[in-house]
Structure 1
């Protein structure tokens, strides 16, 4: 087991508002079952997704209908504040019973002892788990999570604006420039400190797509020549004014759905959301056209809160979710994402979405968006890197100096 630390050592306490505050004031489950029914809370940012959220809720309703002693209530927590809100609550012995984490927060929570081990409550040998992504669910021989969603990054493009997708970075740049005119932009990505986690996801593709990495597994390599090259490509596109500067993800994704953005690098979960915003949009997907075929992936584990009073009931839900028929239904809801186990795409889904195979073929070259060897410290490293990269975008420092400073600051953080 990892050495446990208080969650407050990972993130400063934060206050939550509205539904989040109401949800997180205590542990999600009833301390005592009400009328013989144990009520549990499952928190995930995806429940607030306008495309997938309602379908995920219906999927959970199927579990509830199959049970007479357990009831799961989905709780949507906004993505920008999700990790900080939930980790802080779990660190104080509260929070939801079940959580869908992104990898950086999952690693931090596992390292702090905030997640209940699953080895004794879920017999993973019964299921055909995806080997490549599943390896990141186990730490020091202890399983802390089961993949809820594995979603590879690819290039989304408007097929009406771009009949033939770019296959090189040079074509990518020229396409973005040629499309940018009036209120239409060739490209969009996150570039504000307010969307720290999202910026990290976006720049991850540029770093690894140009042969870089945040570490070599033992030492940080934030300011390596390869990283500089990849992040310079990201900055060059920012400087070229081919993106809607200042627009947050919700805004430019709506613009993509409206035909006002030509390309975006995003994960498979975005397929369903895009169709939810505009079912008539003619878009497709291709591999990211960077020099190296390596990209990020959203690995989102489902975990059980160590503080939950309903661990066994929560494990019952995970075991139900892993059953083949429920995995297939979950994958249909998630769209172009994969789930924990090997599933077969239906002929109907492939007919409706032929590019599903593009995402599936990227699994072996996709990486979770963590700093290998420093997984639990990823949120801290991420903050330092994003702050310095944004400073370079805004002209407060040249990019090389910014990465040198990020290297120094992050090295001091990891000690």
Structure 2
């Protein structure tokens, strides 16, 4: 039997999964349904409201409305609401949170009603488990290297294609506290962010957190990825203790030349600075391995919704998954990918020229490791607890990973 803390939200959900619907059905006129996310009022996700508007105009049975909830308390809020028989009709979540929703009975089984595109992304295909589907992809966010080419020109450097070139540029631009060569999250104050950043580095070294048989932490490849990050921290190349909003501001102010971020941030940065819009470019990470992390956002139908609302949610999701709308989303969401395995079109590049350097492919690894399932939060915690000790210099990389391996195995027993 698996060990670890069981979330209070899970208990609430299990106790109340049979509650009545979320409301919005009945009476005259179209049935109101809602779609929740944490960034529907900010670029590029605000463009998704156009998809909602087009759906509303295409028929008169349902009206879909956006429901924006701040990210800080987003998952706790929507899961508590859903567990109480309330909340949005359609709930978009971080991929790491989906297993809990399915395990707790919060996510409706939509296998029979959903109409999937023919050419699925690797992540979308993974959402069907043992022939059952409880979610579809809203957006996928591949992580890439964002480059301020104007800063590279100042030191006569080309965009780095190898790890050694990447290190050389980062070192040359480091003149703390005025400028730094790079930045990444490295404390438990930003658990999701630190996990994403570490995942990029260990995948780049050829390592993985786990496979279907269990944790794979005590390997030379994982140790190489963690060691590289620690070297950047110890040498002062990154601003120690700085959070993501701060170092992202430093990037668009021209004080950091290189970042690993999701593709969507390239458009956000370009919108914040005319100079950066002219000089920003996107490339794959400068690692020997091509593997990269994709931060994915699936969406599920609230099992507590009324039958009318569930029917409306299915109608909207089928509309969203249609070929034309999938292409529209790729073109309008500025670097976000979707359910279908689509490449960026010329329209995408015209609106976002910095994306031309990205080779869109289907190899992005979800940041939720395989074989972990609903134990992901506990699995991640025991690893980050040890990595915090490693980064603080309390234990060696090898000893920290060995203990993390032992703790992670115990978590998944």
Secondary structure of 2:65's counterpart equals strand
Shift of 1:224: 2.3
- Which of 102, 119, 129 is the matching residue for 1:129? 119
Secondary structure of 1:185's counterpart equals coil
Deviations 1:217-262 (A, max 9, x none): 1121123222111111111111121222222222221221221221
Deviations 1:133-175 (A, max 9, x none): 2221111111122221122211101010124111222222221
Q: Residue 304 of structure 1 aligns with which residue?
A: 301
Shift of 1:82: 2.9
- Which of 277, 282, 289 is the matching residue for 1:292? 289
Shift of 1:299: 2.2
- Which of 267, 272, 282 is the matching residue for 2:262? 267
Q: Residue 272 of structure 2 aligns with which residue?
A: 277
CA 1:398 to 1:143, structure 2 compared with 1: closer, same or farther past 3 Å? same
Secondary structure of 1:269's counterpart equals helix
Give TM-score, length-normalised by structure 1. 0.87
Secondary structure of 2:40's counterpart equals helix
Q: What pairs with 1:8-407 in structure 2 (closer than 5 Å)?
A: 10-13=6-9, 29-30=22-23, 32-33=25-26, 35-48=28-41, 50-124=42-116, 127-163=117-153, 164-181=158-175, 182-281=177-276, 282-309=279-306, 310-343=309-342, 345-354=344-353, 356=355, 358-361=357-360, 363-407=361-405
Deviations 1:30-86 (A, max 9, x none): 2533543322221112325x3224322333233233343322222223334433433
Indicate the RMSD between aligned Cα atoms, in angstroms.
2.6
Q: Residue 21 of structure 1 aligns with which residue?
A: none
Q: Which moved more, 1:346-355 or 1:312-321?
A: 346-355
1:414 maps to 2:408: no
Q: Distance in 2 between matches of 1:413 and 1:298?
A: 24
CA 1:78 to 1:279, structure 2 compared with 1: closer, same or farther past 3 Å? farther
Cα pair 2:211 2:369 within 8 Å, conserved:
no
Cα pair 2:22 2:304 within 8 Å, conserved:
no
Q: Residue 18 of structure 1 aligns with which residue?
A: none
CA 1:390 to 1:61, structure 2 compared with 1: closer, same or farther past 3 Å? farther
Cα pair 2:23 2:86 within 8 Å, conserved:
no
Cα pair 2:330 2:348 within 8 Å, conserved:
no
Q: Distance in 1 between matches of 2:135 and 2:178?
A: 44
Cα pair 2:293 2:364 within 8 Å, conserved:
yes
Q: Residue 14 of structure 2 aligns with which residue?
A: none
Q: Identify unmatched segments of 5+ residues in structure 2.
A: 11-18
Q: Distance in 1 between matches of 2:111 and 2:150?
A: 49
Q: How many residues align?
A: 395
Q: Distance in 2 between matches of 1:194 and 1:219?
A: 27
Q: Distance in 1 between matches of 2:376 and 2:219?
A: 18
CA 1:71 to 1:77, structure 2 compared with 1: closer, same or farther past 3 Å? same
Q: Distance in 1 between matches of 2:351 and 2:53?
A: 26
Q: Which moved more, 1:203-212 or 1:374-383?
A: 374-383
Q: Distance in 1 between matches of 2:166 and 2:49?
A: 38
Cα pair 2:282 2:356 within 8 Å, conserved:
no
